[in-house]
A and B are shown apart, each in its own frame.
Chain A
Amino acid sequence: MMQILGLYNYWVFAILLMTGIYIVISRTNLIKKLIGMSIFQSAVFLLYITLDKVEGGTAPILQAGAPEQLYSNPLPQVLILTAIVVGIATLSLGLAIVVRISEAYGTIEEDQIREMDS
């Protein structure tokens, strides 16, 4: 039972990853596509943070006087911590581009923009 439950995080990762990319592929609305991209990104974050967990461990903040304490892996946390903030910066750049597209074309639906361009 626990052997299978120990994989549940990875399954959720797989489903979220593919939900995100499905939104990017199938929706024509540019803001919806950006939301899909951030779901995709969050799924990757979930994968990394799942890897860091150690059974019986705690957050990697060293405790004085507890030399036997187990700690979870700090390295994936560092990578994801910075990635989240980079993610919001790039998301806002994407949103700025969408705003400019909307002002230029009057729509943010990809198929309508493509018709106007052709």
Chain B
Amino acid sequence: MVTFFGLFVLTLLVITAIGILRAENLFAAVMLTGLFSLLMASIFFILDAADVALTEAAVGAGVATVLMLSALALTSDREQQQRRRHWIPIVVVSVTTLLIIYATFDNPRLGDPGAPVHQHVAPWYLSETPRLIDIPNVVTAILASFRGYDTLGELFVIFTAGIGVLFMLSTDTERSPLTLLPNPDTEGLRHHQVPRIIGRLLVPFIVLFGLYVQFHGEYGPGGGFQAGALISAGFILFALIEGEAAALKVLSFRVLAGMITTGAFLYVAVGLAGIARGGNFLDYSVLLDDPIAGQHLGIILIELGVGLTVTGVLLSVFHAFAARRQHS
């Protein structure tokens, strides 16, 4: 039953992708992208990846759609007519597709426990997590502790991209989104009662769920990345219905910039604390006298750092696009 549901959703995914390819109205293409992400999140859930499904739903179907719509508002939502058919790309792409499909006949089948990917490090992570870290969610254990270096790198990519967007969208000091407050009267959905009332009801629950995902991420699906995306989605919804100025009163640009840097700093500081206590960089076992308690403390702190930075980056990027629209 689940298998056939999976096949059905995968087929819908292909149809949606072709719809995006054919849509000449970019607004339609962006809406289909949101649908695409939601379908992708369902597939991830069917394939046992609860953490990934949560992230994809919040990021892909929520934040990404809003950011692309903001970009459309600043550019244009019509694609020009394609003047000619692109025969060479069509041929190249079709041949490559057939080659990849031909190659898949050598792949292990879906769910095969004997597949090479399940033989190497994964069994070690699954068997040693209870002994070394003692938290139930193995995904969080790997993300925050076993492979903390990777996550630090990813966090700094997000940090850099966020700073990059803020620089790109603020050319001179007068137009800087960091100093501008948008006009409170002319924006948002405050004149549309139904979305406004329903949206206002949803916002606190989305943010509360984000906080739950942040602080319960060791025990259930969750962690800083998911929580950051969820909390940003909640605040973006608030900004859409009440106007950006109302959202900036709650979390101003100054606070958001502080969150971005505090999060990244907290992560590095936890790593350096490990060195100061006589261990390696990002070795949490030495943080407290009891290694397991040290691991727990380290994971909670770096997840908090990740959550702060991700929330700060996503929200300030959204506000940077919105402020550009107000003053262009």
Chain B, residues 152-185, CB within 8 Å of chain A (1/0): the string is 0010011001101100110000000000000000
**Contact yes or no, A18 B107, CB < 8 A:** no
Q: Which of A9, A51, A61 contacts B221 (CB 8 A)?
A: A61
CB contacts between A and B, total, < 8 Å? 290
For A57, the closest partner residue in chain B by CB is B48
**Residue B275, interface by CB 8 Å:** no
Chain A, residues 39-78, CB within 8 Å of chain B (1/0): the string is 1001001100111111111111111100000111111111
**Residue B314, interface by CB 8 Å:** yes
**Contact yes or no, A49 B107, CB < 8 A:** no
**Contact yes or no, A14 B104, CB < 8 A:** yes
Task: Give, as a whole number of angstroms, the nearest-CB distance from B234 to chain A.
Answer: 16
Chain B residues near A72: list those with CB within 8 A. Answer: 47-49
Q: Which of B100, B101, B139, B150 contacts A77 (CB 8 A)?
A: B139
**Residue B71, interface by CB 8 Å:** yes
**Contact yes or no, A12 B117, CB < 8 A:** no
Kindly identify, within residues 82 to 133 of chain B, every residue whose CB is under 8 Å from any CB belonging to chain A.
82, 86, 89-90, 93-94, 96-97, 100-101, 104-105, 107, 109-113, 115, 117-118, 121-122, 125-126, 129-130
Q: Which A residues form the contact surface with B (CB < 8 A)?
A: 2-3, 5-23, 25-29, 31-32, 34-36, 38-39, 42, 45-46, 49-64, 70-93, 95-100, 102-103, 107-109, 112
Given A46-B40, A89-B157, 11 more A-B residue pairs with CB atoms under 8 Å apart are A7-B110, A19-B17, A26-B89, A29-B80, A38-B64, A45-B40, A60-B137, A78-B139, A89-B313, A99-B71, A99-B168
